[in-house]
Amino acid sequence: MTVTKYFRNCGAPLAILVAFAAWFSVPLTTVQAQCSGAEGNNAIYANCGTHGALGIQGSTAYIDASVFASTSTDFCATIYGILNSGSYPAAGAVIDARGISSHNSNLTCASTTSPWYESSGGYLDKPSVLLLPAQTITIPYTWLLPNMTKIIGEGASNTALTGTVLAAASGFAGLGVANVPTAMIQFGDQKRTGSLTCGGTGVCFDISVEELTLNGTSQAIDGILNLDSEELTYVRDVSLYQITGTGLEIGNLNFPNQEQNSGPYTDIYYSSGSSSGNCVKIYGLTMRGIHGLDCVASSNTNGAILLDSAGNTLEDVYVDGFKDGVLIGSVAKGAYNGSGNVLLNISGSSAVTNLVHICNPNTNTGNCPGTTGTYTLNNVTDVSVVGVTAGGTNTIEDDMSVTTLPVSSDAHVGMYALGEAMGNGFSRFSTSKSFPTWYIGNFDISGSCSSAQTGSLYSNTGTSTTGLFVCAGSSWTGVN
């Protein structure tokens, strides 16, 4: 009875003793170390395929590159070694190189190498998300990004002094492929026979660059080149600094078909500090537009943006220091033209001669070459320009309809639309008062109209029996 009473009153101590006894009676599972090849990975507790039991192992989704970095191994070799490891997952992984710094590693790359290429091991066509450190990494060779590869830095800088910077080494070398410009970063297939990337198809998807600066160190090279990557491909928040070639090139005359549906390309800043080169070139099939673009140069006689692709949108664009801001139809020929494009909120400084310049294939004017020899350009039609503010010479120079809107009278243009050919002319609409347009009001209009308004229409939405007026013979006349 005494023992029974003791255990009744001391139920908690008994429960604790029973629990400990039960715990010690269960065979312990040996805690496994990280699985083979998991160095640098985040530790997780899961089924370890190597041992067939629960234990601590490395996550295949994330790799800390700083574990592999050293002053004796350069940056590209470090990343290449991770990608080339037998344990690297075929589906790709996040490679976090943000912990690599100039204090504990060599932030350069050997000649003719990249994180995906070494002459001894060849090209690695493996997907990844590469997180770059807030450091300057000096590269001597084109970074050819494989299919499903994303590069993300720690921020862009207009002066290449902060954030993540990829700087071109002296004597920067490209891939050496015919008709392919030398670029610091190229998306996808290198166009080399027998050595296609992107799974061997030569058509890539899901390649992007974000939050970094490309410093061309005033060499005649391109910044970013996309000739091959389509859906889910984009550039975001990238500064193109001291690049005297083309900052961003999307398609070209020789490879116009495989950049289609890429984009949008957003928040891009180009500053060449040079009188040569172009900010952006767009050629070929339709892509998803550019939204947020600054193009800054110094006494550059070229066009900032060469638009020779149909059905695109350019929005929130500022141009300074170029002769032409947006140059439409300057090289388009064959199956390609600059038609069906929409320009929204375009502005330029006093150093820009023609903020928007539409080329005519039969007219040689400045950067519009016209048809020379066998170089036959195509007509530009169906272009809409909404919200243009210029400070230079001309807000819009339209060689197709032979129309010029000078800054002196049309520094701000709400809308300008070039239609299609009609007989010996083109349909055209503009809110400018310097040329015929279509007005609207709720009252009758009368009196004189200027010679520049001849041909303009006025729609009366009021109660008058005359609903339409035309400017003819220097006066407004009702149309019965």
Lowest pLDDT segment from 138-152, 235-249, 341-355, 452-466: 452-466
Q: Taking the domains of the chain in order of start, what are their residue ranges?
A: 41-271, 438-478
What percentage of the chain carries pLDDT values higher than 90?
Answer: 63
Average pLDDT on 264-282 reads 93
Lowest pLDDT segment from 57-71, 247-261, 354-368: 57-71
Contact 204, 261 (CB under 8 A): no
Give 261's DSSP letter: T
Contact 172, 113 (CB under 8 A): no
Query: In the structure, what pLDDT confidence band is assigned to residue 383 with cuts at 50, 70 and 90?
Result: very high
Question: CA nearest 304: which of 262, 259, 346?
Answer: 346
Query: Which backbone phi and psi does 91 adopt, to 5 degrees?
Result: -80, -5
How, if at all, do strands 183-187 and 222-226 pair?
parallel
pLDDT reported for residue 52: 59
pLDDT reported for residue 309: 97
Average pLDDT on 451-462 reads 88
pLDDT reported for residue 263: 97
Contact 80, 55 (CB under 8 A): no
Contact 168, 184 (CB under 8 A): yes
319, pLDDT greater than 50: yes
Average pLDDT on 162-180 reads 94
pLDDT tens column, 56-111: 666 678 999 999 999 889 999 999 999 999 989 999 999 999 999 988 789 999 99
Lowest pLDDT segment from 9-18, 94-103, 333-342, 345-354: 9-18
321, pLDDT greater than 80: yes
Average pLDDT on 328-334 reads 92
- Token pair, residue 89, equals 């997952």
pLDDT reported for residue 473: 87
How, if at all, do strands 290-309 and 278-284 pair?
parallel
Which region, left, alpha or beta, applies to residue 292 given φ > 0 means left and ψ of -120 to 50 means alpha?
A: left
Average pLDDT on 200-208 reads 86
Contact 158, 113 (CB under 8 A): no
pLDDT reported for residue 195: 59
With b for 16 or more beta-carbon neighbours within 10 A and e for fewer, the 378-415 pattern comes to bbbbbbbbbbbebebbbbbbbbbbebebebeebeebee
Average pLDDT on 249-274 reads 93
pLDDT reported for residue 462: 87
pLDDT tens column, 1-54: 444 443 344 444 544 444 444 444 444 444 444 454 466 666 665 566 555 566
Average pLDDT on 311-330 reads 97
pLDDT reported for residue 88: 93
The CB-based long-range contact list for 38-45 (8 Å cut-off, 24+ gap) reads 38/87, 39/67, 39/68, 40/64, 40/65, 40/66, 40/67, 40/68, 40/82
Give 340's DSSP letter: S
pTM: 0.85
478, pLDDT greater than 60: yes
Arithmetic mean of pLDDT over the chain: 87
398, pLDDT greater than 90: yes
